[in-house]
Amino acid sequence: MAPPIALPGTSVEILNPSIVRGQIRHAIFDFDGTISLVREGWQDVMVPMMLEYLSAADPDEDSASVSHTVRDFVTRLTGKQTIYQMIELAEQIKKRGATPLDPLDYKHEYLRRLEVRIANRVSGLESKSIDAESLLVPGSMELLEGLSARGVRMYLASGTDEPFVLREAKLLGVDHYFDGGIFGALDNYQNFSKKMVIDRIIKENALSGPELVAFGDGYVEIENAKGVGGIAVGMPTFEADPVRWDDWKKERLKQAGADLLIPNFVDHRPLLAFLFNDAMA
Ligand SMILES: [Mg+2]
């Protein structure tokens, strides 16, 4: 692949200069890591929890090797719904000769622990002692506003459980932009996937490829958008410090087929001007 071209004076990297621009009418967004930073650090909850269960399943196993296994599958399954990581946890417990719980039980335990970790952020947003801006990927609000001003219909499709997505989108003050709907995972996970949501949006609106743009930090939304001929903007946001690139995410999004890469939405103006093929200002 040719080296990326940077949009002059910006951090926008163009991997695929041949995308058809100027036709966007619909935009699909991932939530966590793309717009919201409320759940930043979830890996620090999930990984230790899994290590705990796996060490209990086989106390003699070398801790470095368990740790490697866990990091490996948590990473590989990031971007899908949480339940898939828990299904793999149950498999790994079985492999070690123990009897696992239902993966849904692990998911609920994980969510309980994560809720403890993010409780201060949520209550801070509720009481307004925390500024929503500080838990948004920089420039998100401006980008959403810009798309809205251009009459683009917007959809939020997240792998996080729907009640949490609704709560956090509201607390961050971005929920009203998603006139196309806010969709999250359900315990009955067979009935939801980002792919299903995207397929439905395409079908119900009779969209052709370049009318659709997707923004996300996970490979699922990038692959799905490309799968229907849409434009995919990869967001390798380093969540703990969202002015930086996350190199691991960046590599993964490139492999998934992203057309453009940006670490955050600080350059929302040149990004939109490029996507909408505005006459040169
Ligand atoms: Mg995400």
Distance 163 CA to ligand 1 centre (A): 16
pLDDT at 60 over 60: yes
**Do 32 and 47 share a domain, yes or no?**
no
Q: pLDDT (tens digit, 9 = 90+) per residue, 183-227? A: 988 877 776 777 787 778 778 877 778 999 999 998 888 988 898
pLDDT at residue number 212: 94
On whether residue 202 sits in a domain, the answer given is yes
**Do 140 and 204 share a domain, yes or no?**
yes
Q: Report the predicted TM-score, pTM, of the whole model to 2 decimal places.
A: 0.90
On whether residue 57 sits in a domain, the answer given is yes
Q: Phi, psi at residue 6, to the nearest 5°?
A: -90, 140
Considering only CA atoms, give the Rg of the chain.
19
185 by DSSP, 3-state: which?
strand
**Do 158 and 230 share a domain, yes or no?**
yes
**Do 95 and 195 share a domain, yes or no?**
no
- Per DSSP, what are the bridge partners of residue 14? 5, 260
At a CB cut-off of 8 Å and minimum separation 6, what does 19 contact? 210, 231, 259, 260
Distance 281 CA to ligand 1 centre (A): 33
Q: Phi, psi at residue 237, to the nearest 5°?
A: -75, 130
Q: Phi, psi at residue 134, to the nearest 5°?
A: -75, -15
Distance 254 CA to ligand 1 centre (A): 15
* Tokens 């923004």 sit on residue: 215
On whether residue 281 sits in a domain, the answer given is no
Q: For residue 1, name the pLDDT band (cuts at 50, 70, 90).
A: low
**Do 155 and 99 share a domain, yes or no?**
no
Distance 36 CA to ligand 1 centre (A): 9
Q: For residue 250, name the pLDDT band (cuts at 50, 70, 90).
A: very high
Q: For residue 2, name the pLDDT band (cuts at 50, 70, 90).
A: low
Single out the residue in 70, 100, 127 at which a domain terminates: 127
Distance 194 CA to ligand 1 centre (A): 11
**Do 149 and 21 share a domain, yes or no?**
yes
What is the pLDDT averaged over residues 11-34?
Answer: 94
Distance 96 CA to ligand 1 centre (A): 31
Distance 39 CA to ligand 1 centre (A): 10
**Do 206 and 141 share a domain, yes or no?**
yes
Q: Are 42 and 164 in contact (CB under 8 A)?
A: no
On whether residue 211 sits in a domain, the answer given is yes
Q: Which of the two residues, 242 and 75, has the higher pLDDT score?
A: 242
Residue type, 15: L
CA distances in angstroms from 277 to 68, 157, 177, 237, listed in the order given: 45, 26, 22, 25
Distance 34 CA to ligand 1 centre (A): 6
pLDDT at residue number 79: 74
Give the distance from CA 150 to its chain's centroid: 24
pLDDT at 270 over 80: yes
Nearest Cα neighbor of 135 from 170, 86, 183 is 170
Distance CA 83, CA 89 (A): 10
Q: For residue 76, name the pLDDT band (cuts at 50, 70, 90).
A: confident
Q: pLDDT (tens digit, 9 = 90+) per residue, 119-172? A: 999 999 999 999 999 999 999 999 999 999 999 999 999 888 899 999 999 999
Distance 81 CA to ligand 1 centre (A): 10
Single out the residue in 63, 98, 127 at which a domain terminates: 127
Q: Kindly report the three-state secondary structure assignment for every residue of 248-266.
A: HHHHHHHHHCCCEECCCCC
On whether residue 214 sits in a domain, the answer given is yes
Domain residue limits at 215: 5-37+136-275
Single out the residue in 127, 147, 169 at which a domain terminates: 127
Q: Are 174 and 140 in contact (CB under 8 A)?
A: yes
Give the distance from CA 96 to its chain's centroid: 32
On whether residue 173 sits in a domain, the answer given is yes
**Do 144 and 195 share a domain, yes or no?**
yes
pLDDT at 233 over 90: yes
What is the pLDDT averaged over residues 261-269?
Answer: 97
Distance 164 CA to ligand 1 centre (A): 14
On whether residue 280 sits in a domain, the answer given is no
Distance 19 CA to ligand 1 centre (A): 23
Distance 97 CA to ligand 1 centre (A): 33
Distance 279 CA to ligand 1 centre (A): 32
Distance 67 CA to ligand 1 centre (A): 23
**Do 11 and 67 share a domain, yes or no?**
no
| Token duo for residue 65 | 């090797």
Distance CA 81, CA 134 (A): 25
On whether residue 207 sits in a domain, the answer given is yes
**Do 29 and 53 share a domain, yes or no?**
no
Ligand 1 (single-atom ion) residues, CB below 5 Å: 30, 32-33, 217-218
**Do 98 and 154 share a domain, yes or no?**
no
- Percent of the chain topping pLDDT 70: 98
The domain that holds 253 is classified in CATH as 3.40.50.1000
Distance 234 CA to ligand 1 centre (A): 10
Distance 56 CA to ligand 1 centre (A): 30
**Do 98 and 193 share a domain, yes or no?**
no
pLDDT at residue number 219: 83
pLDDT at residue number 194: 72
- Report the domain count for the chain: 2
Distance CA 234, CA 243 (A): 15
Distance 220 CA to ligand 1 centre (A): 9
Kindly state the DSSP code that residue 24 receives in the 8-state scheme: -
